[in-house]
Amino acid sequence: MKEQIPDFNEGQLRTLVLLPLFRAMGFQDVDHYHGGPQEQGKDIVMWKPDDLGERVNYGVVVKAGRIRGTATGKGSGAEVAFQIQQCFGDPYIDPVTLEKRYIDVCFVVCPEVIAKEARNSIKSVVEGRGIRRQMRFIHGRKLYGLIDKYLPERTVITELEKIRKTLSSASPDYHVSFRGDKDATHFWLEPKHPSAEPIEFSFNIDIPDTLEGQEMHKSLEKHFKTGTPVTIDKSFITGYDFPDFLKSILDPTGEGFEKLLIMPHPNPRPITFEAIVRGQKGQESEIFPIELRIVQAGTEEITLNNEQQDGPWTFHLVLNKEQKKLTVRLDFKLGGVNVNRALECLNTLQILAGGAIIELKRYDTGFTLVDLPIEEGMFEPVSEWSMALTEKLVYIQSKTRVPLSIPDRDILY
């Protein structure tokens, strides 16, 4: 079992294994809910229609280590039971519709086998509190069976863990961690102790006064000013040096690199904004939340967007400190969006089409970042057909209690 899932902490287990697993199993709006004051016991939330098409909301409690049948302490059955009670007792905010949702089924997921006494301990505490909703354990062989069935490619995690352990054991001062997202797996180095010496990397770059060299110089200059990624070809790299314990991985042949790609380092912590759209005829609409994060930055320019955020609206901001100029681009996409949220978007687009002001302000402080004027005609008016169809779908959803989403394709009529 440990060969399939290495000694992950709970964060790695959630992001590298469980989030993609539940998505592959057909659960919808799978959201990493862990962290923050609103978590209330739920590490992951998601939903799935039942056999009759009714929405069933699921909450997931994740434990990376062994769950003991004791009454107290970390990793005890009592601790897990408390999380389950929170899971059922407190609603969560739907990441798509922003509605309050209550959990119908709770999964307790653990790569270790949950002993019978621990399961009985959890059940006795939960049922003693009067909770009669469904609770299921996914542990040991059951979990690995699901991974083998739905995520066979996840066996690559084992190889990544081998690399991580090799690098960590080769250095007395640093160990290697990694995390994955939807685009890539990222490695980074962390000191093993406070007195660890800084890791020094050096590259010698020689740029000749040729046409190619001039273009290379412009690309580097742009990178330093704006944070834009830049690729340096092997022909410009005349020497490099980095710690021996990394050479076997980064340059196993000793022949150097074909190219060096310098990427921006995005700030993973978003800043939450809200946008208030005010039309010329007094109409008003709100777009919330907008979780902007810095995706690249240089000496003169900072770029922020919320592309990592699920939802119909994408904001792209470029702040140029030298020119004292803020450029804002607003895009939207309704494919996959719940019809209730889609109707809100169409109403907002209708306001924008007639000319409006978008006030973008920080949610925590209420400080306005920018008042962005939108001239009439910058957005296409919403067709009467689209608006009427969406309104009817919202009505059907409210009566049937079956979630409906806009298909991610053209609708023919």
3-state secondary structure of 170: helix
Instruction: DSSP for 5-61, please give it.
Output: S-S--HHHIIIIIIHHHHHHTT-EEEEE--SSTT-TT-SEEEEEE-TTS-EEEEEEE
Tokens of residue 222, six digits: 């742009």
How far is Cα 104 from Cα 101, in angstroms, rounded to an integer? 9
- Report the alpha-carbon angle 270-369-230, nearest 5: 55
Could you state, in order of their start, the residue ranges of all structural domains in the chain? 10-150, 160-191, 202-262, 271-400
How far is Cα 369 from Cα 371, in angstroms, rounded to an integer? 7
What is the per-residue pLDDT for 1?
A: 43
User: pLDDT tens track of the chain, all 413 residues?
Assistant: 445 565 677 888 888 889 989 999 999 999 888 654 455 678 999 999 988 888 999 999 999 888 876 656 566 788 888 888 888 888 888 888 888 899 999 999 999 888 888 888 888 878 766 665 688 999 988 998 898 888 875 555 555 666 667 667 777 888 776 655 544 556 677 788 888 888 777 888 899 999 999 999 999 999 999 999 999 998 998 888 877 777 766 676 677 777 888 888 888 889 999 999 999 999 999 998 999 999 999 999 999 999 988 889 999 999 999 998 999 899 988 888 889 999 999 999 999 999 999 999 999 999 999 999 999 999 999 999 999 999 999 999 999 888 888 877 665 54
Instruction: DSSP for 220-278, please give it.
Output: HHHHHHH---EEEEGGGEEEEE--HHHHHHH-TTSS--SEEEE------S-EEEEEEEE
Q: Is 98 left (phi over 0), alpha (psi -120 to 50) or beta?
A: left
158 within 8 A of 29, measured Cβ to Cβ: no
- Report the alpha-carbon angle 318-321-325, nearest 5: 55
Tokens of residue 393, six digits: 């779908």
Q: Strand 55-62 to strand 105-110: parallel, antiparallel, or no bridges (unpaired)?
A: parallel
Question: Shortest CA distance to 362 belongs to which of 264, 310, 288?
Answer: 288
Q: Is 282 left (phi over 0), alpha (psi -120 to 50) or beta?
A: left
How far is Cα 139 from Cα 67, in angstroms, rounded to an integer? 10
Pseudo-torsion of CA 208, 209, 213, 219, nearest 10°? 120
Q: Can you name the CATH fold of 10-150? A: Trna Endonuclease; Chain: A, domain 1 (3.40.1350)
77 within 8 A of 69, measured Cβ to Cβ: yes
